[in-house]
Chain A
Amino acid sequence: MIGAAALRRSSPGRFIAPAVGFAAIAGAFALGEVLVQIGVIDRYIVPPPSEVIASFYRIVAEERVFTRFLYTAGECLIAGVLLTLFGIAGGVLMHRFKLLQQAIETWVAALAAAPLVLMYPLFLVIFGRSMWTMVIMGFVSGLPPVILKTIEGIAATREVLINVGRSFKLSASQQFWKILFPAALPTIFVGVRLGLIFALINIVGTEFLINFGGLGHLIADLAERYDLAGTYAAICFVILVSILFFIALEKAERWLRPAD
């Protein structure tokens, strides 16, 4: 039977749904604008969307948003690289040494559940009011998912693929790099994505708490200044940055594994 997927791929009607979705959201904002302007919603609590958009430029120019973005992005990048490298290494080690895995895997899973962000005073004292506090915060909180997903991914390699390797008499190292690791990559990516989400939350959260750093600091500042429209604008900006960040991550994933 001809697949329905073939049916869908070709029709221009496939833009209708996203367009409707976008229109609905834009419509909701328009409705919000009206409600605020006529006073149904208090404009001292929720500024009209038009005002928020108008203050975008001011926020970007005056608040050095771009610099702050680079700051936070830099922290995320370093934390991200660290948690990817150490996370995958940790996962591989734990797969290789079953004793280690049996001993501490549940602890790593438990760590993923604990709100590690509350340890920030300790890191603050050790690393001072510098970006390293945030980097380590992000690294520590994003590490467990990467380790766990790496273990899961390697362990889930289909037996038949391993047997193919053995039938070609691959050495243990070849077996790992040519079969186990590539097969585990999609799962590992899921772990890295999750780790980055945790890292971002903790980094921005810590910046917010200690009033230092990039975008989290910006939000905290604006809140204290009661710059209403500015706060909303900054929030929009942070959302935008986060979206771009994860789109970039996806592009990287697709580049590394074009078959998926």
Chain B
Amino acid sequence: MTGSPTKAGDAILTVDDIVVRYDTPEGPITAVDNVSFKVRPGEFLSVIGPSGCGKSTLFNVIGGLLSHHAGIVSVAGETISGPHQSIGMVFQEESTFPWRTVIDNVAFPLELVGMKRGKRAERARHFIKLVGLEGFENRYPGELSGGMRQRVSLARTLASEPKILLMDEPFAALDEQTRLLLGDKVLQIQQQLKQTTLLITHNITEAVQMSDRILVMTYRPGKTKRIVDIDLPRPRTSEIVTSDAFGHYVAQIWSDLREEASRGMKDEEAHVLHHDVPAS
């Protein structure tokens, strides 16, 4: 069940033949090997793969934080180099500014472009409400839970109104239940805003729950193994995880992934044995 690459000409984000190579003491390694795909406007695409498949590298390339690569990333036809205003990034780690209140965190991108204070606050409040944190505007991140902080990070990125939302395992640090519920929230927002979203994850459930299509990557060197169309009805909620079709997709993707994941494990063990150096 290979998915459709995309109808040409429709794409808002085009990733074209990206190759990323590093030099290491053990020789050059290829982290990402000729990965290409297109994302349609309003689409939710997940990139899934085992640890070491280069998906975080891909995230940094698309986001413009990594420039050592071959291949082109373009948004609506315009080639990008360096962070671009049409791409908003949400990182895996805790990334809220601990010294700013929630509202000041969310208003940060607006501050950078010189928006006036009143308009900033109004815009920030809108997005704070969108992620469901109304009432917490004047709290500090230290007073919030991990899940709430990730919502603040999300609101902050959404406040810059990017054409494409790029997320790198944003729920990795959260527990499963919080993750499912937050996934609900993100889905709801995405559907409401018709936000084009690219999600990097290692969590199959999450990917199937939220995506229109899933790109499965191989272990290093990271290539496209398969693109899967997720034909589950929209709008979706976390209840979808109980359906049969859902389980079917998960099983299918797992069988793809398992092969890659175990290759990854063997490789890391060999690396530690032979080099006395941690593999990552």
Contacts and interface: CB of A to CB of B under 8 A. Distances in A.
Answer whether A and B touch in the complex at a CB cut-off of 8 Å. Answer: yes
Interface residues of A, number: 7
A86 B152 CA distance: 49
Contacts of B277: 3, 6
Contacts of A167: none
B52 A1 contact: yes
Interface of B: 22-26, 29, 31, 52, 56-57, 277-280
A34 B29 CA distance: 51
Contact of B29 (A2, A9, A10): A2
A10 B25 contact: yes
A7 B280 contact: no
Interface in A4-34: 6-7, 9-10
Summarize A's interface: helix, strand, loop or mixed. Answer: helix
Interface of A: 1-3, 6-7, 9-10
Contacts of B280: 1-3
A1 B25 contact: no
A225 B29 CA distance: 67
Contacts of A10: 25
A224 B126 CA distance: 72
Contacts of A3: 277-278, 280
A75 to B, nearest CB: 44
Contacts of A7: 22-25
B54 to A, nearest CB: 8
A6 B23 CA distance: 10
B162 to A, nearest CB: 26
A190 B279 CA distance: 32
A2 to B, nearest CB: 4
A6 B25 contact: yes
Given A6-B24, A6-B25, A1 B57 contact: yes
B278 A1 contact: no
B212 to A, nearest CB: 29
A1 B31 contact: yes
A9 to B, nearest CB: 8
Nearest to A7: B24
A9 B27 CA distance: 14
A6 B26 CA distance: 10
